[in-house]
Amino acid sequence: MKIEKLYIIILGILCAVLCIPQMQAQTNGQPYLCELGVQAGCGYYVGDAAEHIFMNPREAYGIHFRYKFTKRWALQVKASGQRITGHEYEYKTGVGAVRLDSKWQNLLVNVDVMAEFNFFRFGDANKFDKRIKPYTPYIFLGIGAGIYGAEGYTNGNFNKAMAYFPFGIGFKWKFHEFVGLNIAWQHNVYFADNLENRDNLADRHGLNGSNLMNCDLTGMLTAGLVFEFARAKKACRICNW
């Protein structure tokens, strides 16, 4: 499936969901503690073969589990995949990098654990507590690990593993009692400079482990749906809280 068709399908699903008559969650019941979600969008890579964000954007997708400790703090565990691509380069003495016509592409499979902080007290709109909002911007950071390899997206040759540092910003909107929308812009800073898995692009300056700015970076801008479950127990038997 071409990436253009994928984006059209995702946009259609989101538009259909957003047309649900009940456009804002309003309940006085107990909040949900857990949620499962899916997301899709575009990803990119920044390294020796791509110097800027959103160069050669490709599809990105993932699933996540989120546990909400409070209205402000949550823990998210996410598995994601994205394809990165770039051109081959040949380095010549006195000339520098010469771009070749041939291209390479890899599939990255990542798993990360991240702490989240909501700027607003997030949850169901509640007539007893006007501070709680059904929407909020949020930030997140954590730790993760991924696998990848040369042409891994076609033959499953995942021969590399690498830890990374994920962080980013996002926006949550709960438009139904147990359904919501998440938009996130995540960056992953890998602890090495060989994400391309090409000898002529791997750690050319010998700075791995000593200079974080020399590491490869990937990013994902995604939108997705979340579904909540597991209500919290009431603190008061005769009250709604």
Kindly list the domain boundaries of the chain, sorted by start residue.
3-231
- Residue 31's SS3 state is coil
Neighbours of 228 (CB within 10 A): 23
| CB 183, CB 223: distance < 8 Å | yes
Where does residue 122 fall: left (phi above 0), alpha (psi -120 to 50 degrees), or beta otherwise? Answer: beta
| CATH T-level topology, domain 3-231 | Porin (2.40.160)
Does residue 144 surpass a pLDDT of 80? yes
Q: How many CB atoms lie within 10 A of CB 93?
A: 5
**Token pair listed for 87:** 């051109």
Q: For the segment 45-88, what is each residue's pLDDT rounded down to a tens digit?
A: 887 777 778 888 889 999 999 999 999 999 999 999 998 887 66
- At 13 the pLDDT is 56
Structure tokens that stand for 55 in this block: 């160069």
40 and 224 in contact (C-beta within 8 Å)?
A: yes
Q: What is the DSSP string of 32-76?
A: EEEEEEEEEEEEEEEBTTB-STTSS-EEEEEEEEEEESSSSEEEE
Most confident of 32-36, 46-50, 92-96: 32-36
In this structure, the chain runs to a length of: 241
The two structure tokens encoding residue 127: 């007539």
pTM of the model: 0.77
Q: In this predicted structure, what is the pLDDT of residue 153?
A: 42
